[in-house]
Amino acid sequence: MVFQKLLDSINKGQDTVLVTIIESIGSTPRKIGTKMLMSERKHLAGTIGGGIVEYECEEMAKQLIKEQKNARRSFNLRPDDKEGLGAVCGGRMEVLFQYLSGKDPSLKRICQEMISHEKNHQAAWLWFPLSLTSNASLIFYSDTTGWLGTYDQQAISNKAKRKTDRYEVNSETYLVEELFQEGKVVIFGGGHVSQALVPILNYLDFYCVVVDDRQDYLNDNYFHLANECITADLERIEAFVRINSNDYTVIMTRGHQFDEEILRQLIAIKPFYIGLMGSKHKIAMIRKMMKNEGFATETLNQIYMPIGLEIKAETPAELAISLSAELIGKRAETR
């Protein structure tokens, strides 16, 4: 949303300021990389946590647009802070304000690529030069585009780019943010739990693919927030959907015979996460059957079955929340 609004502003020739949290220590409302976009008159998109800090940043951004300047500001979020912000979080955060000209052609290309990469689920990284005098405003990298927005490509390209961190390049400090992860969630089965799960995962910025052999279930009535819906032969899933080592896979079909068949295939494919929904009795039955087929106990112990955190979930919505929480935790391990 932030970069779509930025693109809209550029198309109008409108100057903006991008406000980004570049450091977050202790208890703070939002994490590093959180953004909001301001025009000279109003808030356009995003939030860095609300409250007095966001208000202060909004007012500062409006002034910086008039001055066409960059800035950085630190906030101590303690009740006894001398700035008198009245925050009680207890942490500290630093915010970067980047003036972005509505007439900068490189920014337009970067916004277009960011929107395209998000839509097509392609990994990408954004580099923020942290000095206030840098000639570059935003720097974008993906394996598809290469470097956009910088003339110092050779120096930067020798640095790591696949992890959110700070890097020093030729006396310039950059914050690197991983924008889009490659790992998608592939959900096998279009039943009630899947229908409850997809909207939650969509809100959490997971890319969701729903796979079923029943085409009637794969439509906007059930899955209008899914990124992809694929009708597939569940005995030959690799012929219909590409799954790699970064992906999360969730098995919740309409019958244990389909669950077992998909589980066998996924064990061979080796995605990052395999989860199987089912009662304790069903899980015990499947484990016993697969051990009799020769699957090692160590292999079966790597499968999350039953899926989800233990919160005594029963309804489809509760199960969806339980599973979403588990996926949040697994995703955090990769960051």
The DSSP string of 157-189 is HTS--SSSEEEEETTEEEEEEEEE-SPPEEEE-
**Residue 136: per-residue pLDDT:** 66
Regarding whether 53 and 123 lie in a shared domain, the answer is no
Q: Which of 158, 180, 202 is the last residue of a domain?
A: 180
State the distance between the two ends of the chain, measured CA to CA, in whole angstroms: 22
* Amino acid of residue 278: G
Regarding whether 161 and 300 lie in a shared domain, the answer is no
**Residue 174: per-residue pLDDT:** 84
**Residue 156: per-residue pLDDT:** 62
Q: What is the 3-state secondary structure (H, E, C) of the chain?
A: CHHHHHHHHHHCCCCEEEEEEEEEECCCCCCCCCEEEECCCCEEEECCCCHHHHHHHHHHHHHHHHHCCCEEEEEECCCCCCCCCCCCCCCEEEEEEEEECCCCHHHHHHHHHHHHHHHCCCCEEEEEECCCCCCCCCEEEECCCEEECCCCHHHHHCCCCCCCEEEEECCEEEEEEEEECCCCEEEECCCHHHHHHHHHHHHCCCCEEEEECCHHHCCHHHHCCCCEEEECCCCCHHHCCCCCCCCEEEECCCCHHHHHHHHHHHHHHCCCEEEECCCHHHHHHHHHHHHHCCCCHHHHHCCECCCCCCCCCCCHHHHHHHHHHHHHHHHHHCC
Regarding whether 163 and 31 lie in a shared domain, the answer is no
Phi, psi of 240, rounded to the nearest 5 degrees: -120, -30
Regarding whether 24 and 59 lie in a shared domain, the answer is yes
pLDDT tens, 33-82?
889 999 988 999 998 887 888 899 999 999 999 999 999 898 876 655 55
Regarding whether 326 and 255 lie in a shared domain, the answer is yes
Collect all residues with Cβ–Cβ distance below 8 Å to 155 and sequence separation of at least 6.
169, 170
Regarding whether 285 and 203 lie in a shared domain, the answer is yes
Regarding whether 201 and 306 lie in a shared domain, the answer is yes
pLDDT tens, 162-188?
566 777 777 778 888 888 766 899 999
Regarding whether 329 and 189 lie in a shared domain, the answer is yes
- Looking at the structure of the chain, the number of domains it has is 3
Q: Which of 146, 180, 214 is the last residue of a domain?
A: 180
Regarding whether 327 and 189 lie in a shared domain, the answer is yes
**Residue 84: per-residue pLDDT:** 47
CATH number, domain with residue 300: 3.40.50.720
CB 22 within 8 A of CB 130: yes
Query: Residue 249 has which token pair?
Result: 């896979």
Range of the domain at 263: 185-333
Which regions in the chain score pLDDT beneath 70?
26-30, 77-90, 134-136, 150-164, 181-182, 335
Q: Which of 155, 180, 205 is the last residue of a domain?
A: 180
Distance CA 239, CA 248 (A): 18
Regarding whether 239 and 175 lie in a shared domain, the answer is no
Regarding whether 134 and 71 lie in a shared domain, the answer is no
Q: Is the peptide bond before 199 cis (omega within 30 degrees of 0)?
A: no
Regarding whether 259 and 150 lie in a shared domain, the answer is no
